Amino acid sequence: MVRRSERVAFAGGSGFQLSGIVDLPDEQPLGTAVFTHCFTCNKDLKAIVRISRGLAEAGYQVLRYDLTGLGGSQGDFSQTHFSSNRDDLLAACDFMSQHYAAVDLLIGHSFGGACSLSLVEQIGSVRGVVAVAAPSDTGHLADLLVRRDPKIASQGTGSVSIGGRDYIIHDSMLADFRSFNLPATLRQVTKPAMLLHSPVDETLGFEHALRLFALLTQRSGNDPEPSPTSLICLPGADHLLVRNPADIEFVTAAIAAWFKRLMND
């Protein structure tokens, strides 16, 4: 199917203008998705671009966008945190609902996957969520950043190099990461979820995928019904899906097939 792309801009959760691209088919879309990128990444990450375009070629329209302070979006990244990421995702869904169509599917990579998982139950139109290489909590990232630069904890501000670029990190960001209880939120999710994770992920071990699966599917006491969750292994894949081009092709095909099943329910 022929696809095209449209550049868009909209107000994020913190009021800054966010930059996005909607990849869509020339024909009437079969469904609508919003794709949230990983920590310090952007909408132009190779995997996000190819997955989004691949889904457009399969008949779905997908908004990929830059979170506040990253890529082409306005704002100061050092002043953001998990809560602001969630606000940006909500703003992205509102934008799509107003200008394209109500969002059916949330897709997220890594920290963006955690963000998407945390909001799937909150957005009424959303039918399900896909998380690629996602963490099972947000506090571990705070610990990792402090290990990279202990001054963040001792002096309140530090600098961390990620992907060859330096980022200013404030302790307020870490406090927000540590305060959000992702496991408790996931125990309330009842909508369908699909988890894709590599057993040899060098950034987030496979134990995160196993814990996510358990949080979504195992219930006790007064917990709601479990989420119908699928867990797909990506043997040999790296965290950013750049090592083997076949990994992106497989992930795209898997999401498209799952999306079609979701829309047919």
What is the model's pTM? 0.97
Q: Do the strands 17-25 and 32-36 form a parallel or antiparallel pair, or are they unpaired?
A: unpaired
Q: What is the pLDDT of residue 87?
A: 98
Q: What is the pLDDT of residue 39?
A: 96
Number of structural domains the chain divides into: 1
CATH number reported for the structural domain that contains residue 58 in this entry: 3.40.50.1820
Closest by alpha carbon to 36, among 48, 46, 47?
A: 48
Give, in degrees to the nearest 5, the angle at Cα 88 between 82 and 94.
Answer: 145
CB atoms within 10 A of CB 186: 25
Q: Is residue 172 part of a domain?
A: no
Instruction: Dig out the tokens for 212 from the structure.
Output: 């996510």
C-alpha distances out from residue 233 to 15, 105, 237, 246, 256, Å: 38, 21, 9, 14, 16
Q: Is residue 154 part of a domain?
A: no
Q: What is the CA radius of gyration of the chain?
A: 17
Q: Is residue 44 part of a domain?
A: yes
* Parent domain of 132: 3-136+191-264
Closest by alpha carbon to 95, among 29, 189, 9, 161?
A: 9
Q: For every one of its 265 residues, what pLDDT tens digit does the chain have, with 9 covering 90 and above?
A: 789 999 999 999 999 999 999 999 999 999 999 999 999 999 999 999 999 999 999 999 999 999 999 999 999 999 999 999 999 999 999 999 999 999 999 999 999 999 999 999 999 999 999 999 999 999 999 999 999 999 999 999 999 998 889 999 999 999 999 999 999 999 999 999 999 999 999 999 999 999 999 999 999 888 999 999 999 999 999 999 999 999 999 999 999 999 999 999 8
Closest by alpha carbon to 114, among 65, 185, 15?
A: 185
DSSP string for residues in 144-165: HHHHH-THHHHHSEEEEEETTE
Q: Is residue 43 part of a domain?
A: yes
Q: What is the pLDDT of residue 91?
A: 98
Decide: 108 and 134 in contact? Cβ < 8 Å: yes
Q: Hunting for tokens 């990461």 — which residue is that?
A: 177
Instruction: Dig out the tokens for 8 from the structure.
Output: 């868009």
Q: Is residue 24 part of a domain?
A: yes
Q: What is the pLDDT of residue 26?
A: 94
Q: Is residue 156 part of a domain?
A: no
Instruction: Dig out the tokens for 111 from the structure.
Output: 């920290």
Q: Which amino acid is at 264?
A: N
Q: What is the pLDDT of residue 46?
A: 96
Q: What is the pLDDT of residue 164?
A: 86
Q: Is residue 178 part of a domain?
A: no
Q: Is residue 160 part of a domain?
A: no
Q: Hunting for tokens 């945190």 — which residue is that?
A: 81
Q: What is the pLDDT of residue 102?
A: 98
Q: What is the pLDDT of residues 95-150, one digit of tens each?
A: 999 999 999 999 999 999 999 999 999 999 999 999 999 999 999 999 999 999 99
